[in-house]
Amino acid sequence: MRYIGSALKYMFKNFIFLFPFALIPSYFFALALDLNSLETIVRKVLAVDVEVSFDTVFNSFSLITADRWLFGIVSFICMALFMPMLLAFIEKHMRIGSRSLKGIAKRINYNFISTLVILIIALAIYELWALVASGLIYASVLLLDGAARLVVAIVIALGMFLLLAYIFTQIWLWLPCLQITGYNFMDALVFSSQAIGSNKKRLYLAVMIPYIVCMALILTVVGICGSYDVVVPVFVFIELIYILLFLYCNVLMYTAYFDAAGEDREDLKKRF
């Protein structure tokens, strides 16, 4: 839990500086979410009836759906533009203790390619995961009946979420290693795996727990507000969740990297 506490402490302590980098990507990310499919899933689960189509399940998971693909692409582009500046700010603050925004925009030239490549890889992994998870859940819907169908579908969904967190844990420090060490992509991947070492379990929990909690909160709000056909509060809540999750993930990359690499963090030192 140390990584979770460290990332959250940094995020909230510096929230006013970090927030502008997350606002636009999170806005389009929330727009890309298929609320109708999510509401259908929640309603079916509450009714102990998970007889849903493959499209409904896949659209609940996927970031680029048939109806809202444009918002998904725009959110990806926004992340590719704002993440390099956000990560540059975090690195600068942790390295020299300065929270100045001066020169941050210029860092997009240095961080853009590495960030874009990692985002493309992460998106490909996630969409492949969404396809497999949807297929397994839909198979349980076709093969089973009654309560057994619901239980198996939920177990598969939870198991797939745990697997996704494990996969992303393996590459979580890849991007900061690329940007800090200057290694090529393969060397940075190997170094990041070596750096985390015995702390992989700690990092896995730091990746998995907040993600599961955020998804549970989103499903709860969609389920409650969907019954009353309330859209705006749901959207605002989901965007807030995505803002916090987006910032948390970026901060966690660097707090975990500095800890794993044994580097001193200047932002933690008191200045007089």
pLDDT at residue 136, as a whole number: 95
Using DSSP, how many helices (H) and how many strands (E) does the chain show? 11, 0
pLDDT band at 87 (very low <50, low <70, confident <90, very high): very high
pLDDT at residue 28, as a whole number: 93
- Both tokens of residue 153? 């579908």
pLDDT at residue 198, as a whole number: 78
CA 131 distance to own-chain centroid: 18
pLDDT at residue 58, as a whole number: 94
pLDDT at residue 62, as a whole number: 92
pLDDT at residue 204, as a whole number: 95
Q: Which amino acid is at 260?
A: A
pLDDT at residue 169, as a whole number: 95
What digits encode the pLDDT tens for the residues 59-74?
Answer: 999 988 878 889 999 9
pLDDT at residue 271, as a whole number: 58
Question: Is residue 272 helix, strand or coil?
Answer: coil
- Both tokens of residue 17? 């500086």
| Cα–Cα dist 209/216, whole Å | 11
What digits encode the pLDDT tens for the residues 95-144?
Answer: 988 888 887 877 777 889 999 999 999 999 999 999 999 999 999 988 88
C-alpha distance from residue 35 to each of 39, 241, 251 (Å): 6, 15, 28
Q: Which residue has the tokens 């979420």?
A: 161
Q: Count CA atoms closer than 13 A to 241's CA, side-chain side.
A: 23
pLDDT at residue 39, as a whole number: 85
How many other CB atoms are there within 10 angstroms of residue 62's CB atom? Answer: 24
pLDDT at residue 230, as a whole number: 60
What percent of the chain clears pLDDT 70, i.e. is strictly above it? 97
| Cα–Cα dist 92/267, whole Å | 9
Question: Please, what's the largest Cα pairwise distance for the chain?
Answer: 67
Instruction: Among 8-22, 31-45, 225-239, name the one with the lowest average pLDDT.
Output: 225-239
pLDDT band at 197 (very low <50, low <70, confident <90, very high): confident
pLDDT at residue 272, as a whole number: 46
Please name the residue ranges forming H helices in 66-184: 69-96, 108-143, 146-171, 174-181
Average pLDDT over residues 200-212: 94
Radius of gyration of the chain (CA): 19
pLDDT at residue 270, as a whole number: 65
